[in-house]
């Protein structure tokens, strides 16, 4: 059966699309070339990705090899792909940064992340896909997050008098005072000495991470990151011109021996860690590992940024370096997009007292202040206990979804590399997942292949699944069929 030839980039993710047709105004080769071109332009096929071989593509699409060759020739002519002798066709890398732009080549074992890994998944988040659940998403489905109390909180802070006071002047530089007070109470409940004056609100947790990087680093500085890890963080640090030092992440924490070598050779300035419900593995952090990392930070004079994005899904007693360290050499980052309101874009950081003014200066240069209306509405949701009860409901629902997803994944011959925990599962499919991702995209499914979570691009048989969006047996049937064909 002939497959999809989307001319609309968003159409490529909306399910199986209209088949290639000889009755159209475009030839089959032109339709196939446009399909690949759309995905390349929208970063759904990222620079460095290998296109299927001519023989594979012909078999997959039900076309003759000569038609595929003609399509690939068109992509070559458009400058979208390049042919490598005896290797095949690859999406062209973007032009390298000009001299003096801050890019630094790796030396003595340091590796710089490819500037491509995060884009496919992020752009995929903003394409319409209908109602089909997407296994590669990093968020809960919208219906999981629906509440009654959020609208009530917004109405409360948009009463005419309050709305006028909040809208006609800039908010407080540090962020809404009421929200910072309730956040301080929450962090102190975790054992963290964070008073309101050490908390800065941000436009989401990613903005908080960016503030820290821009304040503490300069182009060429070395930054230790966990691997596998968050693709957006790799891409963001690369864009800032940092040298990325990948640290293998295990069930108990980062590889301490690798960190010690980096400290001796490269003098890193920062270590970015997801201590609790690590993305993508779901790992936690042992107290012993946390203490060793903090000792290294003190000895070798680097800061630790602890990204606790999934804090609302984790037990309060989970080991957090910011609690053990008392915010001395740690900066704590979190937000509410994952659990409550993705589009409110409310995040925050808690920092050592002597860093607050520097971090605040960076915030003011990037956004001036943050919108206080939604911050105040969020503060009300927290104070009334509504966020806590909502998070409890989400955790209960996620526990059930995880059980169902694990059964389906196991039945599809996937092996969990890490104990299933939190929102994500880290599974071995047995086949190369970047190629599999393109086949699944043809069927309307966006997955998160393992290469996305490594600082340097490398083939991988792993993928991250979202337990909330992989309870659909239909996806696993398609997955099993394509895996079998790949083998």
Q: How far apart are CA 346 and CA 377, in angstroms?
A: 11
Do 349 and 404 have their domain in common? no
Q: Regarding beta strands 330-335 and 347-350, do their DSSP bridges make them parallel or antiparallel, or are they unpaired? A: antiparallel
Domain end (from 387, 411, 443): 387
The whole-number pLDDT of residue 482 equals 94
Q: List all residues 6 or more positions away from 289 whose beta carbon is below 8 Å from its beta carbon.
A: 252, 253, 254, 256
Do 171 and 261 have their domain in common? yes
Let me know if residue 120 belongs to a domain: no
Do 257 and 369 have their domain in common? yes
Let me know if residue 249 belongs to a domain: yes
Do 320 and 400 have their domain in common? no
Do 265 and 164 have their domain in common? yes
The whole-number pLDDT of residue 215 equals 97
Do 231 and 187 have their domain in common? yes
Q: How far apart are CA 358 and CA 132, in angstroms?
A: 45
Contact 168, 301 (CB under 8 A): no
Q: How far apart are CA 365 and CA 93, in angstroms?
A: 32
The whole-number pLDDT of residue 8 equals 34
| Both tokens assigned to 26 | 């475009």
Do 380 and 461 have their domain in common? no
Q: How far apart are CA 472 and CA 470, in angstroms?
A: 5
The whole-number pLDDT of residue 123 equals 59
Question: What burial class does residue 88 get, using C-beta atoms within 10 Å of its C-beta: 0-12 exposed, 13-18 middle, 19+ buried?
Answer: middle
| Both tokens assigned to 45 | 């096929």
Let me know if residue 97 belongs to a domain: no
The whole-number pLDDT of residue 125 equals 55
The whole-number pLDDT of residue 116 equals 37
Give the distance from CA 354 to its chain's centroid: 30
Q: Is the pTM of this model over 0.75?
A: yes
Do 350 and 455 have their domain in common? no
Nearest to 270 by CA among 306, 314, 230, 310: 306
Let me know if residue 207 belongs to a domain: yes
Do 415 and 365 have their domain in common? no
Let me know if residue 99 belongs to a domain: no
Q: How far apart are CA 126 and CA 414, in angstroms?
A: 28
Let me know if residue 260 belongs to a domain: yes
Angle, helices 149-157 vs 160-167, to 10°: value is 70
CA pseudo-torsion sign 126, 131, 135, 137 = positive
Give the distance from CA 337 to its chain's centroid: 12
The whole-number pLDDT of residue 22 equals 74
Contact 452, 437 (CB under 8 A): no
Do 399 and 410 have their domain in common? yes
Q: How far apart are CA 100 and CA 245, in angstroms?
A: 21
Helix residue spans in 42-148 (DSSP H): 54-61, 65-77, 119-125, 142-145
Domain end (from 91, 109, 124): 91
Cα separation of the two ends of the chain: 20
Return the CATH number at 415: 3.90.1150.10
User: How many domains are contained in the chain?
Assistant: 3
Q: How far apart are CA 200 and CA 333, in angstroms?
A: 10
Range of the domain at 399: 132-138+389-486
Return the CATH number at 151: 3.40.640.10
Let me know if residue 122 belongs to a domain: no
Return the CATH number at 64: 1.10.10.10
Let me know if residue 363 belongs to a domain: yes
| Both tokens assigned to 321 | 């370096």
Long-range contacts of 284-289 (CB under 8 A, 24+ apart): 284/251, 284/252, 284/318, 284/319, 284/421, 285/252, 285/253, 285/318, 285/319, 285/320, 285/321, 286/252, 286/253, 286/319, 287/319, 287/324, 288/252, 289/252, 289/253, 289/254, 289/256
Do 200 and 292 have their domain in common? yes
Do 211 and 329 have their domain in common? yes
Q: List all residues 6 or more positions away from 258 whose beta carbon is below 8 Å from its beta carbon.
A: 247, 248
Average pLDDT along the chain, 487 residues, taken 10 residues at a time: 33 46 80 87 78 88 90 91 90 57 38 42 56 87 92 87 74 94 95 95 95 96 95 89 95 96 97 96 96 98 97 90 96 95 93 97 92 92 94 96 98 96 96 89 88 85 96 95 89
What does the DSSP assignment read for 388-423? HHHHHHHHHHHHHHHHHHHHHHHHTT-EESS--BTT
């Amino acid at each position: 059966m002939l497959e999809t030839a989307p001319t609309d980039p968003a159409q490529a993710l909306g399910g199986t699309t209209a088949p290639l047709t000889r009755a159209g105004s475009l030839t089959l080769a032109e339709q196939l070339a446009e399909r690949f071109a759309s995905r390349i332009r929208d970063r759904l096929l990222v620079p460095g990705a290998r296109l299927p071989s001519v023989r594979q593509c012909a078999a997959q699409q039900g076309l003759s090899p000569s038609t595929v060759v003609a399509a690939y020739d068109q992509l070559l002519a458009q400058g979208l792909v390049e042919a490598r002798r005896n290797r095949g066709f690859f999406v062209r890398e973007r032009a390298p940064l000009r001299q003096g732009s801050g890019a630094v080549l790796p030396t003595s074992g340091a590796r710089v992340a490819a500037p491509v890994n995060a884009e496919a998944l992020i752009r995929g988040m903003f394409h319409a896909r209908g109602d089909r659940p997407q296994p590669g998403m990093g968020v809960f489905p919208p219906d999981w997050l629906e509440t009654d109390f959020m609208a009530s909180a917004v109405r409360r802070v948009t009463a005419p008098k309050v709305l006028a006071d909040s809208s006609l002047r800039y908010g407080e530089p540090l962020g809404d005072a009421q929200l910072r007070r309730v956040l301080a109470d929450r962090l102190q409940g975790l054992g963290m000495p964070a008073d309101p004056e050490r908390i800065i609100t941000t436009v989401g947790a990613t903005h908080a991470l960016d503030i820290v990087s821009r304040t503490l680093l300069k182009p060429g500085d070395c930054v230790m990151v966990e691997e596998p890890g968050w693709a957006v963080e790799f891409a963001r640090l690369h864009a800032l011109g940092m040298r990325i030092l990948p640290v293998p992440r295990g069930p108990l924490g980062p590889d301490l021996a690798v960190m010690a070598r980096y400290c001796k050779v490269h003098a890193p300035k920062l270590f970015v860690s997801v201590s609790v419900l690590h993305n993508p593995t779901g790992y936690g952090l042992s107290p012993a590992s946390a203490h060793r990392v903090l000792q290294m930070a003190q000895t070798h004079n680097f800061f630790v940024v602890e990204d606790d994005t999934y804090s609302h899904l984790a037990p309060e007693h989970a080991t957090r370096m910011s609690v053990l360290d008392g915010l001395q050499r740690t900066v704590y980052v979190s937000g509410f997009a994952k659990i409550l309101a993705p589009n409110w874009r409310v995040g925050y950081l808690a920092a050592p007292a002597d860093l607050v003014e520097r971090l605040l200066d960076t915030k003011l240069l990037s956004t001036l202040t943050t919108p206080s209306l939604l911050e105040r509405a969020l503060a009300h949701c927290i104070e009334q206990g509504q966020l806590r009860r909502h998070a409890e409901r989400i955790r209960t629902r996620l526990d059930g979804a995880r059980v169902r997803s694990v059964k389906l994944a196991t039945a599809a011959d996937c092996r969990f590399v890490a104990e299933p925990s939190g929102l994500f599962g880290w599974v071995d499919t047995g086949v190369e997942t970047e190629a599999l991702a393109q086949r699944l995209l043809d069927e309307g499914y966006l997955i998160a292949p393992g290469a996305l979570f490594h600082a340097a691009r490398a083939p991988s048989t792993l993928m991250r699944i979202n337990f909330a969006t992989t309870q659909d047996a239909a996806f696993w049937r398609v997955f099993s069929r394509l895996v079998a064909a790949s083998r």
